[in-house]
Structure 1
Amino acid sequence: MDSQHLLRVFDEIDYGMLIIDAQGHILHANHLARHELANGRVIMSYGNNLLGSNAGFTSQIQQAMESSFRGQRRLLMLVEGEKELSLAFTPLSHPLETDAPSVLVLMSRQSTSDNLAVRMFARSLNLSPSEESVLMGLCRGLQIADIAEQHGVAESTVRSQIKTLREKAGAPSIRRLLHRINSLPPVVPALRIITPMPHNATEFSHP
């Protein structure tokens, strides 16, 4: 597989992915990572370096990167109010190896409701639009009362729709249905919801 095909594969992975060199420069960012960097919610790119959206996040990121370049794996949970993102730092080379050191940074997986496979699953079961909407509500963790209020229907209607959902999916319970949903392959939406950026991460930065 050539490098261009490999980069396209990275873009279809349901996790943001960054590759960072020993100078802290971003060598590659897949689509979800570029989206996260562009919105600046928790992390950002400045001068092509990975930073946090505040000084505390930046300090934690720099410490994790330093540990990774020493061959240690690190997991960060960056949380501030409603903003939350986990980052796993994995060394791609051993400190004693001769190749140029680099670190892989994996970000939190998208929420289940953002996984395109859930929509595909709904269509494979021939769910009605209202049934699909109820399914998405369950995936977001909403209670039956919340879904009913959101749709402007009685709770009994939502319970009936959930019963139909379970029957179509062959799931004996809501828990089993959601387990099946969580086991679906991670399919990234045709996310190009931000201006497409070149694969070469050095060509973008955000102040």
Structure 2
Amino acid sequence: MWQTSGATRVSEIPELGGVPGQPAVGRAHLLRVLDEVDYGMLIIDAQGAILHANHLARHELASGRMLVSYGNTLLGSNAEFTAQMQVAMEAAFRGQRRLALLNKGERELAMTFTPLSHPLETDQPSVLVMLSRQSTCDNLAVRMFARTIGLSPSEEAVLMGLCRGLEIPEIAAEHGVAPSTIRSQIKTLREKAGSPSIRRLLQRINSLPPVVPALRIVMPMPHNASESIHP
């Protein structure tokens, strides 16, 4: 699929030095750190083979919605997506950074392709592929924040509705209560959070550090070859 041979495997990445006199940071620690990043991340070699995928990237591959792994090769879930990715990937192997936008109905997956080496360098080329950040509502830190400031379950549900961009009447209809009840709950949760407005509250929510689910997908789910091979 891509045009160069060989690539440095994750297992070949050297230990990284830290503070003098302290032990080096090992590969296992670095890979665990990547699993906690709030973006799907993949390292791809010149043939399109996946050298490493962090937790959120494995989750995206397992869903098969926009991306698939076929024979350990990164592909789009349809021929159009694969073609977009190939153009961006080939540019990245020429030392250029690229953005690809995959659209399927109301869902969009943004992907950046970043070269991890210069095309004139002697080391084997590889590319970092980063996927869109998960939505704010998927960040477990939001629920942790709600419990830290003592929100009730109903107030937490209202907060999640605000994070999803719902208006007060929409939240009220979703929970089968009057809009005045939702306004009262918003007033209470703003007071508990110490935020003077909904806008300031949501800004605070958006600034929370990411917390991804502890449950890990060990390997991408296999996909039927007929779904992954494109003419």
Larger relative contact order, structure 1 or 2 (CA cutoff 8 Å, min sep 6): 1
Q: Does the 8 A contact of 1:147 with 1:158 survive in 2?
A: yes
Distance in 2, matches of 1:16 and 1:197, equals 14
Say whether 1:197 aligns with 2:218: yes
The Cα offsets for residues 61-120 of structure 1, whole Å up to 9 and x where unpaired, read as 011000000000001111121232110111111111111110000001111011011011
Secondary structure at the residue paired with 1:113?
Answer: helix
Alignment match, 2:194: 170
Unaligned runs of 5+ in 2: 1-24, 225-231
Say whether 1:36 aligns with 2:63: no
Alignment match, 2:72: 48
Matches within 5 A, 1:63-142: 63-142=87-166
How many residues get paired? 200
**Alpha carbon RMSD of aligned pairs, Å?**
1.3
Distance in 1, matches of 2:141 and 2:115, equals 30
Distance in 2, matches of 1:184 and 1:98, equals 40
% identity of equivalent residues: 75
Query: Structure 1 residue 205: deviation in Å?
Result: 4.6
Distance in 1, matches of 2:166 and 2:101, equals 24
Query: If the length of structure 1 is used for normalisation, what is the TM-score?
Result: 0.93
Q: Does the 8 A contact of 1:131 with 1:165 survive in 2?
A: yes
Secondary structure at the residue paired with 2:165?
Answer: coil
Deviant stretches of 4+, over 3 Å:
none
Secondary structure at the residue paired with 2:112?
Answer: strand
- Which has the larger Rg? 2
Q: Which amino acid aligns with 1:42?
A: M
Distance in 1, matches of 2:104 and 2:175, equals 31
Query: Structure 1 residue 172: deviation in Å?
Result: 1.1
Matches within 5 A, 1:5-24: 5-24=29-48
Distance in 2, matches of 1:191 and 1:171, equals 32
Secondary structure at the residue paired with 2:123?
Answer: coil
Say whether 1:185 aligns with 2:202: no
Distance in 2, matches of 1:187 and 1:138, equals 19
